[in-house]
Chains A and B, each alone.
Chain A
């Protein structure tokens, strides 16, 4: 089970991995997605599990089947996935940050100063990076 987490359904993790790859541009729109058997061999999982992961994305319209050839990344998939991630950003990153900050007694002003400081360190050389 190369690099997959314990616990959450495996087919969901396969779908997440593929979605992340599409969102990051590793799998371009119109490109062929690895087959069920290729995914099964790579992640060392049951092929039926891999197939379920693929069909999760296909049902969502992110992948499309071309008869006799395989599954391909659908047009507009990347844009939709990035929009989804944007929506989840607050829930997945900001809220846990605030919870931990509260636990440690870091107040709002201090937190914003910290974010600015980290932003300067991380993004000084990154064109198009976050400026705060």
Chain B
């Protein structure tokens, strides 16, 4: 694998607060990677450092073979679309033209067709756009730049489900036409999960998971059914979460289940459901359980 982004021992401190704590991660060239984690986990700080907009307190960062900060050779091959990007007081078409001067691979035809897809009027002043339309403008810039490294930081604030689907479809279509390294941070994990070739999960400034997305499915399974059967089936296996309601129990168990174990579950009358990427991230990052889960928890004496 060729590496597009390489980070080693990266730490970023703000006074007494540690935003990134000894982060080491590599992103393969030409892959779409999901950067996942709670708000405040350190996703934006990492992306800003990758984009050369912030400096590490310690550790090393390499993008396309060099340090990004004040490095024109790297920055022209990289685009960073941030959440709630601020723009100067100009029209949409002027913002696009100004951006096009900076990016050697800028595709004006693609920008026009994306504007049409999002219903974004080119002659409108940016400050008169809604929040969602400003996000759409960021997405247009991020895709039309056709930069070797494309960083999206929660790019869809204020965009409705239909517009987000337009984003996913156009991202995949353009990636197919022009493969490049894309790093997308999001908290809408379930709806974006299928886009990712690999995922990096950050929690409290640390990387808690970095793996191929496909390998994560089936890593953990929710086993549910009668309490006694569930207990028998999960005995001696690592368990992440245990819930109970009356005579029924639901337990998240870690590890792949082979055909014999599945047959055993069936004969015990148990239901098996693999964890989705979103549920897996919730557990892997040690996030608090959803409120309805908290109510049920602790009843299992």
| A17 is an interface residue with CB less than 8 A from chain B | no
Which of the candidate stretches B41-49, B127-135, B168-176 sits at the interface with the other chain?
B168-176
- A11, A40, A43, A96: which contacts B266 (Cβ < 8 A)? A96
B218 and A44 contacting across the interface, CB-CB below 8 Å: no
Pairwise interchain contact B197-A49, C-beta atoms closer than 8 A: yes
Asked if B267 is at the interface of the complex by the 8 Å CB criterion, the answer is yes
- 7 closest Cβ contacts across the A-B interface? A7-B274, A37-B176, A1-B194, A45-B194, A48-B197, A6-B276, A46-B197
Partner of A46, one of B194, B217, B266: B194
CA distance A43 to B194 in the complex (A): 9
Q: A41-B169, A41-B176, A45-B194 known; A10 and B214 CB under 8 Å?
A: yes
Would you list which residues of chain A between 46 and 65 have a CB under 8 Å from chain B? Answer: 46-49, 52
> Given A9-B218, A49-B197, are A44 and B168 neighbors across the interface (CB < 8 Å)?
yes
Chain A interface size range: 20 to 34
**Chain B residues, CB < 8 A from A95:** 266
Closest Cβ neighbor of A6 among chain B residues: B276
A41 to B215, CA, bound (A): 21
CB B164 to nearest CB in A, in angstroms, measures 12
Q: Cβ of A126 < 8 Å from any Cβ of B?
A: no
The count of residues in chain B whose C-beta lies closer than 8 Å to any C-beta of chain A is 27
Q: Which residue of A8, A43, A46 is within 8 Å of B274 (Cβ)?
A: A8
Instruction: Tell me the complex Cα distance, A45–B173, Å.
Output: 11
- Could you tell me the dominant secondary structure of chain A's interface residues? helix
Complex CA–CA separation, A10 to B199 (angstroms): 15
A28 to B145 alpha-carbon distance, docked (Å)? 41
Interface residues of A in 1-19 (CB under 8 A from B): 1, 4, 6-11
A-contact bits for B259-295, CB 8 A (1 contact / 0 none): 0000000110100011110000000000000000000
Contact B273 A7 (CB under 8 A): yes
Q: Whole-angstrom distance between the alpha carbons of A40 and B168 in the complex? A: 11
A52 to B194, CA, bound (A): 13
Contact check, B195 vs A8: say whether CB atoms are below 8 A apart: no
Q: How far is the CA of A96 from the CA of B267 in the complex (A)?
A: 9
CB distance from A99 to the nearest CB of B (A): 6
| A105 shortest CB reach to chain B, Å | 14
Since A10-B194, A11-B214 are in contact, a sample of 18 more A-B pairs with Cβ atoms closer than 8 Å, ordered by chain A residue number, is A8-B217, A9-B217, A10-B214, A37-B176, A41-B172, A44-B169, A44-B194, A46-B194, A46-B195, A46-B196, A47-B175, A48-B197, A49-B194, A49-B213, A49-B214, A52-B214, A95-B266, A99-B269
